[in-house]
């Protein structure tokens, strides 16, 4: 009977459940009995996901945000596709909602309230968040590897709406894991991204000690009230090459420095209930004896340096509205910016020094994004900001110039039938220049990938990114260290999101996804609202506070 009911699940859902449980193929008799009960429950059914998504969109349609261009036509069209949804379809549909979709999640506090060990945990009342590990290591033959492991979660519904459907905070999550490996001089391999719903019963967490589990994938702390030392265990399959390649990691980490709080004491930013909270452990040592398995070969890792990020917040996927009415009113009077994405970098320099750097995408550089032509773009020059951490944990804000002077086209996919090859040009060599805000030997350096074939991958929602290991050298070619470089939203994500959401990719749907312009009446209302002096003073106060904590475009989202 159970096998028959499993057969009613769609193939992608079964494949994702199998991957979470470290199986290349879905086998009903291998599913633990307690997990079977959750998977076959009504709240994990396509009808339940459809009902919940229908209620979510209908609520937004019936209760629009003030001073916000209308999404009426878009939402009415999306409602036509909500009768029955898989968890992946519901996840992808969330990425197509408007600015008003960030409403009713837990507010970002006015001032940073990060507290340990409490905030080691996933913060489920916010729209999204992640625990993210990247770094470089060597095996016993001194061969170099770059490794990425990311535990990413997304709250499908605002908490109160989820509770009204009888869901717990964990039931309300979509979890996805990223696992990728770069091999120096060879290739970059991304495991097929998988996403599972909390209603499958496959997500578990405890915080003393920290234990985060998604199927058989785990992050496990070894001490109470401390995050480190910890182990990260993950598995996946690359399906986009000539043959399937299984990847497994069992990594142990110890921390050599205190956490750093990004932005203003962890606010990145905290502005009108929106933004993110964000901290990092910047100098993790890989414990000897950590393991990497590639296609059945067991590789013993002897040394390495890694970086850990935990970030959570609202209004990143999709972009969100300020929760301050006066800010929304002011926004309808200005030209809206809908640039998506960023380039983000971490660097481990010799001498136990680090940098975190970011360059948010801007309207001024739109000509460099979504490019698929036969010729690469010209050099792209942008402003880059970040933090420098010295050997004694002294932290200073820095800014400089980033030049992208080499590009590479993305021509691969870990699962081409669901994550389409984009043929998009991505940055593939970076040159940084700083003034006297950093030590003299680090004011001019480059980042070069350790592989030649690009390092692109996909989020389970359909968004493509590029991320992988890089070598750091000065202008004379002298080795300075290693790091990771990330580029997000260089490719058009709509074709994949439409496909995963079960929507047609046609001109009508494309038009509905374009950011709506404020009507003349809405602009007039905004003008009258902002003409009142108390509102002008309120806006200035908010703007000052937000600028102190970094602009909303500065998210590492």
Q: Look at residue 73 in the predicted model and tell me its pLDDT.
A: 97
Q: Following CA atoms 541, 543, 548, 549 in sequence, which dihedral angle do they give, to the nearest 10 degrees?
A: 120
Q: Look at residue 262 in the predicted model and tell me its pLDDT.
A: 93
Q: What is the pLDDT of residues 175-188, one digit of tens each?
A: 999 999 999 999 99
Count of beta carbons in the 10 Å neighbourhood of residue 312: 23
Q: Look at residue 153 in the predicted model and tell me its pLDDT.
A: 98
Q: Look at residue 133 in the predicted model and tell me its pLDDT.
A: 98
In sequence order, which residues have a C-beta less than 8 Å from that of residue 243 and are 6 or more positions away?
none
pLDDT > 70: what percent of the chain? Answer: 97
Q: Residue 2: pLDDT above 60?
A: no
Instruction: Tell me the backbone φ, ψ of residue 52, rounded to 5 degrees.
Output: -65, -40
On whether the CB atoms of residues 340 and 553 are closer than 8 A, the answer is: no
Q: Look at residue 127 in the predicted model and tell me its pLDDT.
A: 98
Q: Look at residue 3 in the predicted model and tell me its pLDDT.
A: 57
Nearest of 154, 125, 65 to residue 101 by alpha carbon: 65
Q: Residue 463: pLDDT above 70?
A: yes
Question: Per-residue confidence at 422, pLDDT binned at 50, 70, 90?
Answer: very high
Instruction: Tell me the average pLDDT across 467-487.
Output: 97
Residue 37 lies in a domain: yes
Q: What is the pLDDT of residues 491-540, one digit of tens each?
A: 999 999 999 999 999 999 999 999 999 999 999 999 999 999 999 999 99
Q: Residue 241: pLDDT above 80?
A: no
Q: Look at residue 4 in the predicted model and tell me its pLDDT.
A: 54
Q: Residue 125: pLDDT above 80?
A: yes
Composition of the chain by helix, strand, coil, percent to 5: 25, 35, 40
Average pLDDT, the chain: 94
Q: Look at residue 337 in the predicted model and tell me its pLDDT.
A: 74
Which pair of tokens denotes residue 428? 């593939």
Q: Residue 370: pLDDT above 70?
A: yes
Instruction: Tell me the average pLDDT across 10-19.
Output: 95
Residue 134 lies in a domain: no
Cα separation, 341 vs 339, whole angstroms:
7
Q: Look at residue 156 in the predicted model and tell me its pLDDT.
A: 98
Q: Residue 556: pLDDT above 70?
A: no
Nearest of 421, 281, 319, 264 to residue 96 by alpha carbon: 319
**Alpha-carbon separation of residue 413 from 7, 22, 458 (angstroms):** 27, 20, 8
Q: Look at residue 225 in the predicted model and tell me its pLDDT.
A: 93
Q: Look at residue 239 in the predicted model and tell me its pLDDT.
A: 75
Question: Per-residue confidence at 542, pLDDT binned at 50, 70, 90?
Answer: very high
Q: Residue 553: pLDDT above 90?
A: no
**Alpha-carbon separation of residue 337 from 225, 363, 365, 544 (angstroms):** 42, 7, 12, 20
In sequence order, which residues have a C-beta less than 8 Å from that of residue 501 and are 6 or more positions away?
81, 89, 92, 93, 95, 96
Cα separation, 344 vs 341, whole angstroms:
10
pLDDT > 90: what percent of the chain? Answer: 88
Residue 306 lies in a domain: no
Residue position matching structure tokens 């070598």: 471
Residue 60 lies in a domain: yes
Q: What is the pLDDT of residues 300-317, one digit of tens each?
A: 999 999 999 999 999 999
Which pair of tokens denotes residue 326? 């006066």
Domain ranges, residue 93: 2-105
Question: Per-residue confidence at 546, pLDDT binned at 50, 70, 90?
Answer: confident
Report the range of poorest mean pLDDT among 152-166, 332-346, 393-407: 332-346
The total domain count for the chain is 1
Q: What is the pLDDT of residues 242-274, one digit of tens each?
A: 678 999 999 999 998 999 999 899 999 999 999
Q: What is the pLDDT of residues 17-45, one digit of tens each?
A: 999 999 999 999 999 999 999 999 999 99
Question: Per-residue confidence at 5, pLDDT binned at 50, 70, 90?
Answer: confident
Instruction: Tell me the average pLDDT across 439-459.
Output: 96
Q: Residue 230: pLDDT above 60?
A: yes
**Alpha-carbon separation of residue 494 from 108, 165, 237, 371, 456 (angstroms):** 29, 30, 25, 14, 17
Cα separation, 318 vs 557, whole angstroms:
10
**H/E/C letters for each residue in 179-235?**
EEEEECCCCEEECCCEEEEHHHCCEEEEECCEEEEECCEEEEECCCCCCCCEEEEEE
Cα separation, 507 vs 323, whole angstroms:
32
Cα separation, 369 vs 360, whole angstroms:
12
Residue 515 lies in a domain: no
Cα separation, 511 vs 498, whole angstroms:
13
Instruction: Tell me the backbone φ, ψ of residue 545, rounded to 5 degrees.
Output: -65, -45
Q: Residue 209: pLDDT above 80?
A: yes
Q: Residue 141: pLDDT above 60?
A: yes
Nearest of 505, 484, 472, 459 to residue 148 by alpha carbon: 484
Q: Tell how many helices (H) and how many strands (E) occur in the chain.
A: 12, 24
Q: Look at residue 8 in the predicted model and tell me its pLDDT.
A: 79
On whether the CB atoms of residues 282 and 459 are closer than 8 A, the answer is: no
Nearest of 505, 503, 495, 414 to residue 462 by alpha carbon: 495
Q: Look at residue 1 in the predicted model and tell me its pLDDT.
A: 45
Report the range of poorest mean pLDDT among 332-346, 394-408, 424-438: 332-346
Evaluated on CA atoms 164, 165, 168, 172, the torsion sign reads negative
Cα separation, 258 vs 458, whole angstroms:
32
**Alpha-carbon separation of residue 157 from 32, 51, 97, 282, 459 (angstroms):** 28, 12, 12, 32, 20
């Amino acid at each position: 009977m159970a096998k028959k009911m499993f057969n009613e699940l769609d193939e992608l859902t079964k494949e994702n459940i199998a991957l979470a449980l470290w199986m290349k193929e879905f086998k009903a008799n291998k599913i633990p009995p307690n997990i079977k009960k959750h998977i076959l429950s009504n709240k994990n059914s396509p009808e339940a996901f459809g009902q919940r998504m229908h209620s979510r969109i209908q609520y937004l349609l019936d209760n629009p945000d003030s001073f916000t261009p209308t999404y009426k036509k878009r939402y009415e069209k999306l409602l036509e596709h909500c009768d029955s949804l898989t968890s992946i379809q519901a996840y992808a549909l969330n990425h197509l909602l408007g600015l008003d979709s960030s409403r009713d999640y837990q507010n970002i506090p006015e001032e940073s309230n990060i507290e340990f060990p409490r905030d080691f945990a996933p913060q489920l009342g916010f729209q999204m968040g992640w625990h993210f590990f990247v770094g470089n290591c060597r095996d016993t033959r001194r061969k170099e590897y770059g490794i990425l492991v990311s535990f990413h979660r997304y709250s499908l519904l605002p908490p109160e709406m989820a509770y009204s459907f009888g869901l717990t905070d964990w039931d309300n999550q979509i979890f996805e894991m990223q696992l990728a490996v770069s091999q120096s001089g060879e290739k970059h391999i991304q495991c097929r991204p998988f996403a599972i719903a909390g209603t499958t019963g496959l997500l578990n967490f405890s915080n003393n000690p920290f234990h985060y589990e998604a199927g058989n994938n785990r992050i496990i702390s070894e001490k109470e009230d401390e995050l480190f030392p910890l182990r990260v265990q993950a598995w996946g399959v690359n399906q986009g090459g000539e043959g399937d390649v299984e990847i497994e990691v069992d990594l142990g980490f110890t921390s050599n420095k205190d956490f750093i709080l990004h932005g203003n004491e962890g606010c990145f930013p905290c502005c009108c209930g929106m933004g993110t909270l964000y901290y990092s452990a910047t100098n993790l040592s890989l414990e000897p004896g950590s393991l990497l398995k590639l296609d059945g070969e067991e590789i013993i890792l002897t040394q390495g340096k890694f970086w850990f990020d935990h970030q959570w917040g609202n209004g990143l996927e999709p972009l969100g509205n300020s929760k301050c009415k006066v800010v929304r009113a002011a926004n309808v009077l200005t030209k809206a910016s809908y640039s998506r994405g960023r380039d983000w970098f971490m660097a481990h320099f010799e001498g136990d020094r680090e940098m975190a750097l970011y360059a948010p995408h801007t309207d001024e550089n739109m000509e460099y994004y979504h490019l698929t032509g036969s010729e690469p773009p010209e050099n792209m020059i942008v402003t880059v900001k970040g933090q420098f951490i010295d050997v004694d944990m002294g932290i200073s804000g820095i800014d400089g110039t980033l030049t992208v002077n080499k590009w590479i086209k993305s021509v691969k996919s870990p699962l081409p039938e669901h994550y389409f090859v984009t043929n998009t040009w991505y940055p593939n060599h970076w040159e940084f220049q700083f003034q006297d805000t950093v030590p003299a030997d680090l004011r001019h350096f480059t980042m070069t990938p350790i592989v030649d074939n690009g390092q692109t991958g996909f989020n389970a929602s359909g968004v493509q990114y590029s991320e992988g290991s890089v070598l750091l050298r000065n202008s004379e070619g002298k080795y300075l260290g290693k790091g990771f470089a990330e580029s997000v939203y260089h490719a058009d994500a709509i074709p994949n999101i439409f496909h995963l959401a079960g929507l047609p990719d046609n001109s009508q749907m494309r038009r509905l996804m374009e950011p709506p312009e404020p009507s003349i009446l809405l602009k007039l209302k905004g003008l009258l609202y902002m003409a009142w002096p108390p509102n002008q003073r309120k806006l200035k106060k908010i703007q000052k506070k937000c600028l102190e904590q970094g602009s909303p475009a500065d998210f590492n989202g």
